[in-house]
Amino acid sequence: QLRNRTLDLAFVAVTGPIAESVDIRAIRTFDTAFVTRENGRFAGATSLEALRDAEWIHADASDNFPTYIRDLHEHAGLPPPRCITRCTSYALFYSLLMTNDAIFSWTRLSLAETVFGQKLTPLPLPMSPPPLQLYRLTPPGLQLTRPASDFLAHVEAAFASLPVTGSRALR
């Protein structure tokens, strides 16, 4: 929709580069951690081996996260997890995380700044998931209207006011 100009502005948060034929501006980088529910079966796990029976949950509509998790296990000389669950409904995702002993990737900022995040515990593993990048996307060469420019100024000001812990501004 950005390419055919039926959409003028989009935001996307991903863990890798974007290969799109649109104008891309990085807004913020969020450090991430593998987490599980506080006091859950895997809380305090210090290795992938200790997570052998864990279910891994993600909300990524692509296959990037499952591929990353399988590669991580392969690199460690371990078999891939037997259960990697994709859940694109955030209400169900949160419910699963609070009722199952699952492992997932979460931003460190959300761990510190949200009520939900405070019910989770980061795992002291020797590796972290890739950082989450927030991007602004617009059609190539689009000149933003005054309201759109004002809106983006407010968005950027809001992100600039976030704590530095767990996120980094990109300029």
The β-bridge partners of 137 are 10, 24
* Residue 168 and residue 48 in contact, taking contact as beta carbons nearer than 8 Å: no
Q: What is this structure's pTM?
A: 0.81
More confident position, 85 or 15: 85
Sign of CA dihedral 22, 26, 27, 32: positive
Integer Cα distance of 9 and 28 in angstroms: 17
Integer Cα distance of 63 and 9 in angstroms: 25
Residue 102 has pLDDT above 50, yes or no: yes
More confident position, 163 or 9: 9
Taking all residues of the chain, what is their mean pLDDT, rounded to a whole number?
Answer: 87
Integer Cα distance of 136 and 167 in angstroms: 16
Phi, psi at residue 114, to the nearest 5°?
-120, 150
| pLDDT per position as a tens digit, 47-91 | 999 998 999 999 888 888 899 999 999 999 999 999 999 998 888
| pLDDT per position as a tens digit, 111-133 | 988 888 889 999 999 988 999 99
